[in-house]
C-alpha cells in the first residue's frame, strides 16, 4: 500500500488538470473547509433543494485517472455528489476504511456510495442508474444511458442463447 503522505497535499483536486467549468454543484470535502461560500449558490441549475443534499458520495484519491474521468463525467452531467479524498481532508480516514470494507481490503477508487449501495470503479451510467432508484429527483432530466457497444451486444446475445 502506498504511503498517503507521499502522494501529495490533501487538497489536491483530481480535476485540477481539466479545464475549469462553471458547474459547482459538487463539493470536494478537501476544499470545503477552506471555503465558506456555498458551492451550490454559484450555479443556477443547482437551485433545486433536492440537489443541496446529494445521495452520491465519490471516494477518490489524487493521481487516479479513473477518478478524474468519473468526476468529470458526473460534473458534465450535473449530478450532485460529494467528494471524499481517501488520502486526506475531512473524512479521509473514514472514507479509506469504507472503501477497504467494500473492495475486499483494497483501496480501489473510484468507489461510489449511493444510499446503501457501494459501487467499485463504476461508470457514470452505473452511478446514475443507482441514483434513479434512490433519489430520481437528483437525476438530470436530459440524462439518457449510453447505448451498448458491439462487445456488450454480442455478450448479451450469447448469454441469451
SS3 for the chain is: CCCHHHCCCCCCCCCCCCCCCCCCCCEEHHHHCCCCCCHHHHCHHHCCHHHHCCCEEEEECCCCHHHHHHHHHHHHHCCCCEEEECCCCCCHHHHHHHHHHHCCCCCCCCEEEECCEEEECCCHHHHHHHHHHHCHHHCCCCCCCCCCCHHHHHHHHHHHC
Global pTM exceeds 0.85: no
For residue 85, pLDDT over 60 is answered with yes
Extents of the domains making up the chain: 4-160
CATH number of 4-160: 3.40.30.10
41-83 per-position pLDDT tens digit: 333 333 343 445 789 999 999 999 999 999 999 999 999 999 9
Amino acid at each position: 500500500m502506498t504511503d498517503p503522505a507521499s502522494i501529495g497535499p490533501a487538497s489536491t483536486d483530481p480535476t485540477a488538470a481539466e479545464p475549469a467549468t462553471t458547474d459547482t454543484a459538487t463539493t470536494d470535502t478537501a476544499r470545503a473547509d477552506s471555503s465558506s461560500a456555498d458551492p451550490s449558490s454559484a450555479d443556477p441549475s443547482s437551485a433545486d433543494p433536492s440537489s443541496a443534499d446529494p445521495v452520491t458520495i465519490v471516494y477518490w484519491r489524487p493521481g487516479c485517472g479513473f477518478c478524474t474521468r468519473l468526476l468529470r463525467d458526473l460534473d458534465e452531467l450535473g449530478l450532485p455528489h460529494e467528494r471524499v479524498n481517501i488520502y486526506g481532508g475531512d473524512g479521509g480516514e473514514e472514507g479509506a476504511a469504507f472503501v477497504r470494507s467494500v473492495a475486499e481490503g483494497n483501496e480501489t477508487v473510484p468507489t461510489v456510495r449511493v444510499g446503501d449501495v457501494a459501487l467499485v470503479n463504476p461508470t457514470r451510467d452505473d452511478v446514475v442508474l443507482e441514483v434513479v432508484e434512490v433519489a430520481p429527483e437528483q437525476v438530470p432530466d436530459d440524462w439518457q444511458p449510453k447505448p451498448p457497444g458491439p462487445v456488450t451486444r454480442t455478450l448479451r446475445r450469447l448469454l441469451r442463447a
